[in-house]
Amino acid sequence: MQEETDMPTRKILLDEEDIPKQWYNITPDLPKPLPPFIDPETKAPGAGIVPRIFPREILGQEMSQERWINIPDEVREVYRIWRPTPLFRAVGLEKLLETPAKIYYKYEGTSPAGSHKPNTAVPQAFYNLKEGTERLTTETGAGQWGSALAFAAAMFGLKATVYMVRASYDQKPYRKMLMNAFGAQCYASPSEQTASGRKILQEDPDNKGSLGIAISEAVEDALVNEKEANYSIGSVFNHVLLHQTVVGLETQKQMQIVEDYPDVIYGCIGGGSSFSGMFWPFYHDKVSGKAPKKTKFVATEATACPKVTSGEYVYDHGDTARITPLVPMHTLGHDFIPAPIHAGGLRYHGIAPTISLLASEKQLETEAFNQVEVFDAAKLFIRSEGIIPAPEPSHAIKAAID
């Protein structure tokens, strides 16, 4: 029989009872109020079409000034399938880098769809079910958000229709199969299902699609079928970001277990939901005076799509077709077409208004990396940790290694 050795614990685990009971909403803690949405038709403050495609509870959360929002039991019940997620101590990477620093990472890859996206897909599906919606529509690029929504819809017996950018649809057949397995319909966009899709196909039958086109199709589907269908979004909006705070709230409990507190928190930003889900609760510690350290927040983006490091902080549309209201954000312009890099989830021209406000108020820092240096960092991570990170979080890994 071998003697017990003192191997460091790799995974810091919580019980299902530790799944947060409330989400944290950063809005009341921001250094200044968020500027309002502008209705693209009237050019005056207003939410435009938004109230026609979201349930009331989601609209309420989007505008909420409440700091803490209760998580329904039905949502926590589904969260239990994969939450709480492990916080890993990166013992292999620390050894490889010969660093005295302790490196931790929160691993959301154990969710049924493989990413953090179900954290918001589940409550969105639940509120829609509660308010009588029969079907959810959405767009997806690489497929992570589409499969998360397909999973969430299945959990509450809702139908789901996903418009997937044709280039991805052709390249990633497994993502489509995953959505189908959860019972969702998945169409290559532009599709024959909508007027906007048909119009594009008539002019260019081989059109490879774009996230902008897919959003237009999903929103049109929800507007045309207003009685039975609603639209669901995977990032950028406040309600999405606040649903993701279960990630940071769990991490706070896990850091308490190992009696540690972060000096720096790194995350990657596409629309901003994964990074916000992690750092918002620590930002609350900071503004409420609870933080034992001056924690730095660092958002990492791709040099191919540097909205915060190089973009302007102005009012812009979230979609290419300009159906959605104008929002105040760092943007490269709604018609910006990023290079086809691997980190598809970071190829969004704008960013969540909350991130933009915090960046302009110097509450967070931003760094941009190119995909070659990011892939080299991911390789170090794979060989030392044994886990293959997605291209998006590899940007944060690059920053942490530096």
Among 73, 98, 203, 259, binds a copy of itself (CB under 8 A): 73
Binding mask 20-49 for a copy of itself (x = CB under 8 A): -xx---------------------------
Pick 66 or 365: Cβ nearer a copy of itself? 66
Q: Minimum distance between the CB of residue 80 and a copy of itself, rounded to whole angstroms?
A: 4
In the window 137-156, what residues touch a copy of itself (CB under 8 A)? 151, 154-155
Instruction: Return the structure tokens found at 165.
Output: 């950018």
How crowded is residue 228: how many other Cβ atoms within 10 Å of its Cβ? Answer: 11
Q: Minimum distance between the CB of residue 323 and a copy of itself, rounded to whole angstroms?
A: 32
Q: Considering the rule CB under 8 A, would residue 159 count as an interface residue with a copy of itself? A: no
Pick 105 or 279: Cβ nearer a copy of itself? 105
Phi/psi at 268 (5° precision): -105, 155
Among 43, 45, 70, 288, binds a copy of itself (CB under 8 A): 70
How crowded is residue 388: how many other Cβ atoms within 10 Å of its Cβ? Answer: 11
Among 10, 159, 253, 322, binds a copy of itself (CB under 8 A): 10
Q: Considering the rule CB under 8 A, would residue 77 count as an interface residue with a copy of itself? A: yes
The secondary structure of residue 338, as a DSSP letter, is -
Among 40, 48, 112, 338, binds a copy of itself (CB under 8 A): 112
Strand partners, 317: 326
In 3D, which of 176, 177, 109, 115 has the Cα closest to residue 144? 115
CA separation for the pair 133, 59 (Å, rounded): 15
Q: What angle do CA 18, 117, 339 make, to 5 degrees?
A: 145
Question: What is the sign of the dihedral through the CA atoms of 48, 50, 52 and 55?
Answer: negative
Q: Considering the rule CB under 8 A, would residue 76 count as an interface residue with a copy of itself? A: yes
Q: Minimum distance between the CB of residue 123 and a copy of itself, rounded to whole angstroms?
A: 14
Burial class (CB in 10 A: 0-12, 13-18, 19+), 211: buried
Report helix, strand or coil for 244: coil
Q: Minimum distance between the CB of residue 128 and a copy of itself, rounded to whole angstroms?
A: 17
Q: Considering the rule CB under 8 A, would residue 106 count as an interface residue with a copy of itself? A: no
Among 58, 178, 343, 396, binds a copy of itself (CB under 8 A): 178
Q: Which residues, 6 or more positions from 102, have their beta carbon under 8 angstroms from its beta carbon?
A: 89, 94, 260
Is the distance from CB of 328 to CB of 371 less than 8 angstroms? no
Which range, of 5-13, 197-205, 221-229, 348-356, touches a copy of itself by CB under 8 A?
5-13
Among 42, 65, 98, 174, binds a copy of itself (CB under 8 A): 174
Among 13, 195, 264, 337, binds a copy of itself (CB under 8 A): 13
Q: Considering the rule CB under 8 A, would residue 181 count as an interface residue with a copy of itself? A: yes
Strand intervals (E) in 178-325:
185-189, 229-231, 264-268, 296-302, 312-317
Asked if residue 325 has a cis previous peptide bond (ω within 30° of 0), the answer is no
In the window 195-224, what residues touch a copy of itself (CB under 8 A)? none
Q: What is the DSSP string of 22-47?
A: EEE--GGGSSSPPPPPB-TTT-SBS-
Q: Considering the rule CB under 8 A, would residue 16 count as an interface residue with a copy of itself? A: yes
Q: Minimum distance between the CB of residue 24 and a copy of itself, rounded to whole angstroms?
A: 14
User: Where does this chain bind a copy of itself (CB under 8 A)?
Assistant: 1-2, 4-5, 7, 9-11, 13, 15-17, 21-22, 70, 73, 76-78, 80-81, 110, 112, 151, 154-155, 174, 178, 181-183, 382-383, 385-388
